Amino acid sequence: MATHQAGQEQEPAEPASATVRAGGLDVGVIDGGSGVPLVLVHGGESDRTQFAVLRGRLGAGIRAISYDQRDSGITVNPPVPYALEDLADDLAALLDALELPRAHLLGTSFGGAVAQHAALRHPGRVASLVLVATTPSFAMGGAAIDELLRMSPGDRQHAAADFFFSPAGRAGLPAAAGRTLTVRTPGQRARRHDVARQHEVRDRLGEITAPTLIVHGTADRLAPYAGAVLMAQRMPHAELCAIEDGRHGIAVEFADTIALRVRDFLGVAGGSRG
């Protein structure tokens, strides 16, 4: 059983951010480490810096690459609507820019939705999936997601701690909630929220054939645990790791547990999945 890992220890410094030209966009990237390429796909209200805690736990043998999706961080994109298919294609374009024929994808929350669409649209580019606190359908989150999205940015920031971390986790991670959300303009928020509501792949889960590790908290209100169970049942090569009492921010609160599971899944110690 996973245990709470809240603590005040100082996190290692992140590698420097850069921008790369990918698919016609200037994309913000943090690219650090060497070895198995693992692309970290951030959540709907976050950016490339979301993975500061988890990146520090992944250890040697993994090249961890996080990037800013459209309307996030330092990525520059035109102020026009887009779809999840566009975000999946952006990810493939990023792999091209980084000269990576294939990579493993780790997506959290909305980033897990992007990773699912990337696996559907570009299966040859996806070596494996790690889906953390995500869902196969926006509709499964229901009222809780809408409640969070309707809040003002300030109220959303304040409420994030309860949505994302257990009471024990909040006690030991006072700065974590501040790293969870990124600042966006009203137009950027509206485009992000519109695209999140498009996510629906329950009837296509059987088409996702990449080896998949699903890591999910049993007390997640934003992406209910039932969605993780459904993905594990319908994806042909999926395994489910439950984090008892975990909420939506398990990639921070349970970073040690998740990093160990990811290393084992990728076979870092004794080779990799390719």
Which structural domain range is residue 163 located in? 17-266
Cβ neighbours, 10 Å, residue 253: 29
Q: What average pLDDT does this structure show over 16-35?
A: 96
The confidence score (pLDDT) of residue 108 equals: 98
Tens digit of pLDDT for each residue in 130-189? 999 999 999 998 678 778 778 887 787 777 788 899 888 887 765 544 456 788 999 999
Whether the predicted pLDDT of 199 surpasses 60: yes
pLDDT in tens, 229-239: 999 999 999 99
pLDDT at 179: 55
Token pair for residue 131?
A: 């889906």
pLDDT-based confidence at residue 197 (cuts at 50, 70, 90): very high
Model pLDDT, residue 271: 43
CATH, residue 232 = 3.40.50.1820
What pLDDT is stored for residue 262 in this prediction? 98
Cα 37 to Cα 261: distance, rounded to the nearest angstrom: 16
The verdict on residue 2 lying in a domain is: no
What's the structural domain count of the chain? 1
Identify whether 245 is part of a domain: yes
Contact 33, 64 (CB under 8 A): yes
In the predicted model, is pLDDT for residue 1 greater than 60?
no
Output the pLDDT for position 6.
44
Q: How high does pLDDT run on average in the chain? A: 90
pLDDT at 149: 74
Q: Is the pLDDT of residue 31 over 80?
A: yes
pTM: 0.91
Mean pLDDT of the 215-227 span:
96
Whether 86 is in a domain gets the answer: yes
Per-residue pLDDT tens over the stretch 54-108: 999 999 999 999 999 999 999 999 999 999 999 999 999 999 999 999 999 999 9
105-131 tens-digit pLDDT: 999 999 999 999 999 999 999 999 999
Q: What local confidence, expressed as pLDDT, does residue 158 receive?
A: 76
Q: Is residue 55 part of a domain?
A: yes
* pLDDT recorded at residue 210: 98
Scan for tokens 């990449």, then name that residue.
Answer: 210
Measured CA to CA, the distance from residue 54 to residue 64 in angstroms comes to 10
SS (H, E, C) the chain: CCCCCCCCCCCCCCCCEEEEEECCEEEEEEEECCEEEEEEECCCCCCHHHHHHHHHHHCCEEEEEEECCCCCCCCECCCCCCCHHHHHHHHHHHHHHCCCCCEEEEEECHHHHHHHHHHHHCHHHEEEEEEECCCCEHHHCHHHHHHHHHCCHHHHHHHHHHHHCCHHHHHHCCCHHHHHCCCCCHHHHHHHHHHHCCCECHHHHHHCCCCEEEEEECCCCCCCHHHHHHHHHHCCCEEEEEECCCCCCHHHHCHHHHHHHHHHHHCCECECCC
Q: Are strands 25-32 and 126-132 parallel, antiparallel or unpaired?
A: unpaired
Q: Does a structural domain hold residue 145?
A: yes
Q: Decide if 61 is inside a domain.
A: yes
Please give the Cα distance from 149 to 139 (Å, whole number): 14
Structure tokens that stand for 50 in this block = 């979301």
Is 74 part of a structural domain of the chain?
A: yes
- Single-letter amino acid code for the residue at 135: T
- 45 lies in some domain: yes
